[in-house]
């Protein structure tokens, strides 16, 4: 019985240490290849139309660690929350900011989504970069 208890504890510990598993409603960017881009486009349109909306973007680092970026637009306020705690080489923090707009630009075979006019980051906050083929 003691071995079973130890086995169960080890299994529970290991399951808590697993990788982040994106949901079907997450926008996932794995090294420039993106899934659910339509959800980010919908969010961008909702912000332009002053409609409450939210989206989660998961960008994977070169090492395969997820950086989770939650965006929420409500009551004419665009909020950003970036969670880098699962990034082994990141700053292991959750950073929040409020911005005025979201911008999509095409440059050098890339589509870049970025938050603009942010309270704490005047240069803007990158959301995700997509490599166009």
Residue 68 has pLDDT above 50, yes or no: yes
Per cent of the chain over pLDDT 70 is 86
Is residue 77 left, alpha or beta, with left meaning phi > 0 and alpha meaning psi from -120 to 50? beta
58-67, 112-121, 124-133: segment of lowest average pLDDT = 124-133
| 71: nearest Cα among 2, 12, 132, 126 | 126
Q: Is the pLDDT of residue 6 over 70?
A: no
Q: Output the average pLDDT for the chain.
A: 87
Q: Quick one: which of 44, 46, 45, 26 has its CA closest to 36?
A: 26
**What residues have CB less than 8 Å from 19, skipping those under 6 apart?**
64, 66, 86
- What pLDDT, on the 0 to 100 scale, is given for residue 18? 45
Q: Are 57 and 128 in contact (CB under 8 A)?
A: yes
Average pLDDT for 35-59:
97
């Amino acid at each position: 019985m003691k071995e079973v208890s130890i086995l169960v504890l080890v299994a529970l510990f290991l399951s808590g240490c697993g990788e982040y598993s994106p949901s079907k409603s997450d926008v996932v960017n794995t090294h420039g290849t993106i899934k659910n881009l339509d959800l980010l486009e919908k969010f961008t349109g909702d912000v332009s139309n002053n409609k409450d909306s939210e989206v989660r973007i998961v960008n994977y680092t070169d090492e395969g660690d997820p950086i989770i970026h939650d965006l929420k637009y409500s009551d004419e306020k665009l909020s950003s929350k970036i969670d880098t705690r699962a990034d082994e080489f990141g700053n292991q923090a959750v950073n929040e900011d409020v911005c005025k707009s979201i911008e999509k630009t095409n440059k050098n075979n890339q589509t870049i989504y970025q938050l603009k006019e942010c309270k704490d980051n005047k240069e803007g906050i990158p959301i995700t970069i997509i490599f166009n083929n």
